[in-house]
Amino acid sequence: DMGKVIGRSGNTAKAIRTLLRVVGMKNNARVNLKIEEPEGSTRPVKTVDQAMDDLKI
């Protein structure tokens, strides 16, 4: 699930990038993390009215 990999406000992805940077520095290597979303994994876009209807109990 992309939401779990990226995390709230990208915090999980930032933490993974930090760890990779440290490992790269220890090995004199430059390391990058690119997170690609798999095809067909986009969520449908909701209008504000649809989101409000979902909140009504």
The whole-number pLDDT of residue 57 equals 57
Q: What is the reported pLDDT for 11?
A: 87
**pTM of the predicted structure, to 2 decimals:** 0.56
Range of the domain at 21: 1-38
Position 7 in a domain: yes
Taking only the tens of pLDDT, the chain with its 57 residues reads: 677 777 778 888 889 999 999 999 999 999 888 888 777 666 666 677 777 777 765
Any domain includes 54: no
How many domains are contained in the chain?
A: 1
In a domain, 49, yes or no: no
Indicate whether 50 belongs to any domain: no
Q: What is the mean pLDDT of the chain?
A: 80
pLDDT for 43: 64
**Looking at the chain, which runs of residues are DSSP E strands?**
none
User: Is position 57 within any domain?
Assistant: no
d(CA 2, CA 38): 9
> What is residue 49's predicted lDDT score, i.e. its pLDDT?
74
Q: Is residue 46 part of a domain?
A: no
